Each structure stands twice: as C-alpha cells, then as structure tokens.
Chain A
Amino acid sequence: MALSGMRGLSVFISDVRNCQNKEQERVRVDKELGNIRTRFKNDKGLTHYEKKKYVWKMLYIYMLGYDVDFGHMEAVSLISAPKYPEKQVGYIVTSCLLNENHDFLRLAINTVRNDIIGRNETFQCLALTMVGNIGGRDFSESLAPDVQKLLMSSSCRPLVRKKAALCLLRLYRKNPDVVNIDGWSDRMVQLLDERDLGVLTSVMSLLVALVSNNHDTYWSCLPKCVKILERLSRNHDVPQEYTYYGIPSPWLQVKTMRALQYFPAIEDPNIRRSLFEVLQRILMGTDVVKNVNKNNASHAVLFEALALVMHLDAEKEMMSQCVALLGKFISVREPNIRYLGLENMTRMLMVADVHDIIKRHQAQIITSLKDPDISIRRRALDLLYGLCDVTNAKDIVEELLQYLSSADFAMREELALKAAILAEKFAPDLSWYVDVILQLIDKAGDFVSDDIWFRVVQFVTNNEDLQPYAAAKAKEYVDKPALHETMVKVSAYLLGEYSHLLARRPGCSPKEIFSIIHEKLPTVSAATVPILLSTYAKILMHTQPPDPELQDRIWAIFNKYESCIDAEIQQRAVEYFALSRKGAVLMDILAEMPKFPERQSALLKKAEDTEIDTAEQSAIKLRTQQQTSNALVVTDQRPANGSLPVGQLSLVKMPSISSTAGANAIDQGLAHADGTLSIVDPQPATSSADLLGDLLGPPAIEDPPGAAVSAQQNVVPGLDLEGASNAADALALALVGVQSNSVQPIGNIAEKFQALCLKDSGVLYEDPYIQIGIKADWRTQHGRLVLFLGNKVTSPLDSVQALILPPTHLKMELSLVPETIPPRAQVQCPLEVVNLRPSRDVAVLDFSYKFGTTVVNVKLRLPAVFSKFFQPISLAAEEFFPQWRSLSGPPLKLQEVVRGVKPLSLPEMANLFNSFHLIVAPGLDPNPNNLAASTTFYSESTRAMLCLIRVETDPSDRTQLRMTVASGDPTLTFELKEFIKEQLISIPTPTPVPAPAHQHQNQQHHRHSLQGQLQV
C-alpha cells in the first residue's frame, strides 16, 4: 500500500534512507527544503493537491529531527480546502507541527468552527480530532457550545459523538468554565446511559476529569458508574468487539474505577454493597495467565480495583486481601507486576495501617533493591524508606549503606539522603547514628550534601556523651590514607572540638592529632582550609601546658597563610595567630561551641523539596507526617505549638521552644478553656535560622542562644504586651491554641485567623487528619458561616464535637455537628451569627475529635470579628462634614494621641483601613498628611450607624498620630477607636513577613561573625 499518487514523497523517503551518513542526509534534506520553500513562495500557482505533497514532506523532515520553520501557514491553509484528502492532510499535519500556543491556529478557528457545525460528518470528525489534540483556550471559548451540542445530539452518529466527548474534555482542561453551566451534571448522567461502548469510554474520560475537579456536582453520576462496572464485570451485554483478550473492555473498567476514586465516600449502602461485590470478584478472580496481553489487561483492572479499595478503605477484611495480593506480586519474576506491586505497597502504607504486615516482606523488598532494573530498584528503595521504623531501621539503613557502594550514580544522592534521614529519625542509639553518617560520607562523599554533615555535628555538639565517641571515630577515619574531602571537614571539626577528650588514649596526643590532620591539608580545597585552621587553633588552645614545638609548627602555618589570596583563609590565619599570642584569653574565645537550638531536620525539608522522583514523594510526605517514636534524644518539646512541623527530630533536651517568632508572640498569652488567661512560661523562643549559620555561627561568649532571642523579640509586634496587660479583654485570646495534643497543626493558626479576618473564605485550621474551612457571608448585622469539616484520612474521625463559646454581644447558632466524619468526607455545618451590639470580643470554637485513640482538642478563634459588621460607604465632602460637625465631643466623638504606631506610609495606612471596610476618602481632608474614612456599622442595638474617622499623622514622626472617631453610639465610638488602635499598633496582616526578614538578617549576622569570628 504505497502512498497512492505521491511518488515524489516515496522517492524522497527512499533517497533519505539510502544516504550513507548523516551528512549526506542533511544535504538531501536541505535540497528538499529549499525546493519546498521556493514552491511555497510562488504560492499563486500551487494547487491544494501540490500543497498536500509538500506538507507531507515537511512533516517527514520534521520527524527526522530537522527544524522546519516555514510552511506552517500552508499546512494551516489546507484546512480550508474543499476536498476531503487535502483537508485531512491540513488537519493532521497542523496538529503534528503546531502546539496550542501557536498564533496561526487562531487564524483557523472560523474554518474549524464551520466544519464542526456543518453537515459533513467526515469534516466534523477531522475538526473535532484536531481541536481535541491541540485546541487551546481560544478554541475553548469559541467552540465549546458547538461541541457540547454534537455530544448531546441524538442525530449524530457515535463516531462523531465520541470525538466530541474527548474534544470537550480537552476544552475543559483548558478552561473549566466551559462546562460550568446549569444542568451539565444531569447531562452527564444521561450520557452514562450510552449504549455504544466507544462513546461511553470517551464520556467516562470526560467524567473523570470533571469529578477530579469537583465531585460535589457529579454525585448523581456515582450510581451509574457502579452500574456500568457491574455490567462489565459480569460480562453482561458487552459486544464481542469490545472484549479484549476475553476481558470486557478493560479500559472502560479502569476509567470507571478511576472516576469512583474521586468521590470521597459512598454512603448508599446498596450501591456500596454492589460495588464491593464487584471489587471482591476482581480481587479474587484475577489469575496469572500465559498470554501476556491478557495478563496485563486483567492486572490493569486489578490494580485499579486495589486503588479503589484503598480509597474506600472499607472492611478491613478486604484491605488484608489487598496486602496479601501485593505480597504475592512483589515476589513474582514478571517485572511489570513486581514493579506495580512495590509501587502499590508504598501507596498502601500511606492510606492504611498495614505497616506491620508489610514489614514481613522486608527481605523480599531488599532483594528487589538489587534488581538489575533501575525502575524496580527505585520502587524498592522508596518502599523501604516508607517502611522504616525504630524496629527495623538498623537493618534497612545498613542494607542501604551496603548497596550504596554498588549503586549507580543516578541513585546515589537519593540513597545517601534517604539513609541519612532514616538514620536520624530512627536511630536506636546515638553512636550508631554517628557511625552511619560517617560511613555514608566515607562511601559516597560526593553525594553527601553539606546538610548531612552539619547535622551530625549538631548532634555531637548537643550530646556530651557522644563527643568522645565521635572524636575517636573521626580519628579512625583520619588515620586512613585516602579520605573524601567531606570526611576531612567533619573529622577536622570534631577533632578540633573534642580531641582533647581522647588525650589519654594512645596516638591521641595533641601533637599526633595535629599531624594526622595536617597531612590532609595539601589534598584539600580552599573551602576546607579554614576549617583546618580553626582546628589547629582549637588544638593549640587545648594543649595545656603549651607545647612550644607544636606551637611553633602551628604558628608557622598561620604565618604562611597570612598572605593567602583567599580572604577567608587569610583572615583566619591572621586572627588565629594574633589570638594565640594572647594566652589565657584564647581559652574564652575558643571555648567549645554552644548547643544548637532544636529545629526541624533540614534533611527532611530537603527531601520534600527535591524532585528526585515523583511517586516517591509520596513516601517522603508520609515520612514527614509520621509521628515518630524517637529513641534518639530526650526532649521535652512543648506539645502546644502553633507551627512546629510534625514528626521532627528534636535535637536535645532544651526548654520549651517555639519555632517561629510569630507563634511565640501569641503563645505568650495562651488561654484556657474557661477563658482565664495564663502566661506561659516565658522561655524565649529561638529562631530557626539557617543551618550553616548555627554551625559555624555566633561565637560562644558573645552570643549565647538567649541573646539572639531577646533581640528577636523586638521583631515581634507588641501584641504580647497588649495581651498580657489586658487579661480581661477577649483580645488576649489572640491565640487559642492547641492544648496538649500530640497532633500538630499544619501552618500557623494565628496567621490563618488573621487572613480570615480580612477575607470570607479559607482554612481556619488544619492538621494531618482534618481540615476546617470557613466560608462566610455577611449582611448587615447577620452573618452566615459555614464550617467545612474535612476528614483527610481514610479512617473515620469519631467523637467530633464543636462547641461555640460566643461573647455576649453575639448570638450564634451552630447547626448539628455529626459525631463521626466518614473517611475522606467533608461535612458542612452552618453557623448563624447575629451581632447584638458593638464589641471587639471574639467568639471561640472549641473543637475536638478522636482519631484512633488520640483525642485532639483545639480552641480556635472564629473570624466573626468586629470589622465583619462594617459595610463600606464612601462619603463626599458635603455629606461628611455636616455629620462630623453634628457629632461633637465625648462620648460620641473621641480623640486620642496614639504612640508606638508601626510606621506606615499614608497609602499603606489607607490600604489597611480599606481592608477593614473603613473606606478612606482621598482628598476629603485638605491636609495631605491626614486621612478621613467612613463606614457603616450594623448591630441589633445600633442598627445601621455611620462611623467617621480622622487620622492626623506627623510626617516627621510616623510612630505617633492623632485619631478622632465619631459615631452616634458611645460604645461603638469607643470600640471602634480601640479597634483601629489595635490594628495600627500590631499590624497583624503581613505577619509572615517579619520572619523571613529576620532570618535573612540573621544570616547576614552570621556572615559577619564568620569572618570576624575571633575579633575581640
């Protein structure tokens, strides 16, 4: 079947094939391109038929990998050819050569549309196919209604309708609004009744995309999907041509089960039962057969069924069946099934409590870690990583270490990082941890990032018991002849700090230690030399009484480097030399490094950030979410903490510490359920400054941890003072935090609350199990909030209780909250609010639930705050001033000079006001340094009441201003004045900003101190 009538093309292809080498081929291709270019230039005489030939040649050349940067217009123009053969070529070549962002495509929209709405079925198909393959947003906007019509049309044949369904899917992906129309979900239900399985397959793909974005709208499709699945699995009424190796359309089965996975749960018991029967049949009835295609198809269905069971997480009985199946799969020879077995086991770890069962397969998984196929090795590594816990960490990590020496380069970094994380998380004892990391550096130094060795230094520094051991280990490594540079760094550091602890052991005199380290100096790069110099200085300091010979040698080295071209090395050399002549002072300056503050492991963070591979991010996520039983270190970490990430390793026994400045300020006033305020142990917070900063960072005597902290507190807006002095005031409820829960919230609760004060929807609270969202609608003094309680996990959350503790000025009614939230379900609880009178008090939601045996109880401020009852109003001067004048003097008009205001420019201040619906009228006040604003306040007692505000600022001192507030109600005036004051003093909106800025500052500080480390 040659290219009928296109001899030129055949000849050309033969020519190209006969070329002896790439160069010849290029010559031939260039000649042809030149030819085509000339032809296209004299476009006038070219018939559609000729164009078609050239366009095919272009596509062929393009496929060979040559740049074809012309002729696109000709391809597109063929679309409008009147005859089928040319039109077909136009459509196909266009969709191969161009992508959706190409400008020429826009030129064709009209022609394409005419083909779609025209009566010619074959033209319709061509147009739908092209739009389905490369249609972009423009197409979405202009063609969606026409495509929908074709899909729904009863007069169109299946071949057009199935294309229309997929075309619509493409348009939907480009612009979801194309199906956000009334009644579309009903139409989907109707479409699922389709008899033609080709059309149904396409419709199901469309449904998957729709429900994956918005399952709520398509609930009504769920029963239909289950019906379809039943019909297929029973092979009931499935035409022969739609069975594939005896299996009723495996593709449709897979798609249908995929769609079902986007619905959070199935409540109807009948539907649920039917579905589980089907799933049961698939799980039990799939056998391994000889025919590879049949086997693949049936297992495609089986793995999708597994995924659906995991999602529905129903009867535990079925879950254990799944685990048993997967256990079988990971031990088969067939590589595809083994790969998928490993992959799905990892997924299962995340959704179900099957850790212990899967652990039984550990040996088998380790075998796969040595498989020749890297795809399988990756899966095995990921699974082992997910599987690791305190009980098997030793085995797994040692296995990884062993594998490290033979692993291919593509995997080493990943392996090293994972081994380091596991060692850190699950170390049975600290010396083992040190062993592992040192081995890691020894075996794969190139793949061990700085973070990893910084971390080990942190541990050793913070654990005195460990120091002699670590120093001895480091000595062992340094004794080896060839050493990775990273090993030189870490050993030199450890020996500098702690080698004096070994002094009595043989071969460990300062002189000997110095000699073995110094041997390495000629082999290291400029980045390592400074560390060695510090080590020498420390050794010198520890040598008591001083050894003149050693001193001379070290001084000679310092001398030598005093003229080093590297500024860092030079400076250290000069300073150490000068210092070491100061005698006793040296002892103070070079004292041991202080302990590091507790922090999240940078490695875990890194693992989250790295895009090593996708599927395994799942396991990393799992890792970070896990609550670990930590044998490694003692810690009395404070349980209630706004933003401490969960499952992290605590470095050392330290007083309670909170990880961000923002949380700290708020934690100062931790309120209890009964509303009384208790000041929490005012242990200062420690910053989470960058790692390097701490490691080489602030010199011991100048900057003990506490000092850094006191400086940091200044960064925090003065909210804490306010709170403390104002105990009776509900504002002190600034945070109502999580109390003594082992479950840590995700993100900062206070920030979430602040954000919600300014907008009407968002997340109020989140932890690994639940997300509480809020959507609010405010009208005059009435508010309607909806709490969205979303269960994030696949087991139910029990004993759910929500109690509103309203302040006296709010009438609040919460509808019934169900006691159980089913797996992955979301319940909505409306909450009605009526504002009785002006007050700044805040309502609190006392929320608790049980996950397994863990009881979680949180108290959350609800964003039904004062400012929600403002409605913007902007007044013209002629309305404003008469009102202003009529309200004269206290208590209706209050004036106050406010000091300690956060300095803001006038536009910033205006923005702040506007964000609270206090609408600033520009130019109203003739003085450009003043602001005038107005709003309407609503409550039962005041009804709609106009409020007027005037702020006079002092351009020479932005920290003070004079504020005048007026309204027709004395309480309102007072409350409003206080409210504004709070906003101006604390500026809660951009709370996240200070933290990074501070970190940055800290970093700079560190740089400085690094260089001037020893300046006295």
Chain B
Amino acid sequence: MERNPIRRQLAIMRQSLFDQGHVDEQFVQLEELQDDANPNFVEEVVTLYYRDSARIILNIEQALERKPFDFGKLDAYMHQFKGSSSSIGAKKVKAESTLFRECCKSGNGEGCMRSFQQLKKEYATLRKKFGAYFQLARQAGPVETASRPK
C-alpha cells in the first residue's frame, strides 16, 4: 500500500477503473510500457486516443443523420473506433462498439442509434475518469506503478 496519500488515492482510483469495468488488461500493458524515459506514456496515449477517436465519433454521428443508414460505412467506422478503444483497454466502450457493429450487421437502425448513445455516454464517463486519474498522477510525481526497485 502506498504511504504517500496521493499515491494511495491514485492506486484506489486505478483499482476502481478496473473494478468498474472501465478498463481491462490492455491498460496494464500500457502501464508496463511506461518507464523513466516515458513517464507519462499512458496519459499521452489516452490523450491521443481521445483526440483521434473524436473524429471517428463525429463521422458516425454524421452518418447516422443520413437516412437510410449506410450500415457498411457505419460498421467500418465502428471497426476503426473499436480497434482504437481496445488498444487502450477501454473495456466498456469496446463492448458497446461490438454491440453497435452487431446492429449494423443485422441492419438494425434503431439498435444502432441506441447503442451509439450508450457508447457516447461510456466514452464521456471514461474520459472524465481518466482526466481525474492523470491529473492526480501528475501530482503524485514520477510514478512507480508496479515496478519494483531492482
């Protein structure tokens, strides 16, 4: 257990991200890539993710405004989005993406709309959580995370 109160809080936050199912094992992979040379690697990646995926979200929104739905295109966009989300370990977002794609494949327009709304919610929630988490992480200073002194 971290003695430093900030570190302790950080650890708790981190744990809740996992416990609540917001992130999965892939997130740990990212954390393991973080080292002294790249002390803010995880934050950089997540920031990049939110920046790039915003573009895809916009594309999907625009596509959903055109009736009838071009399910092929929607599916392609979501495939992209899913790939990105899964690479940072965004578990809930990824799950919702899968649902959306299934709706596309079955031509379920309504399902797509609903799924997309849900997805955006999860996406926004995670963003807030990450924001708080990384802010705290910066305060905590150089992170030791799981690495132990050799």
A and B from one complex: no
Q: Give the B-binding residues of A (Cβ under 8 A).
A: none
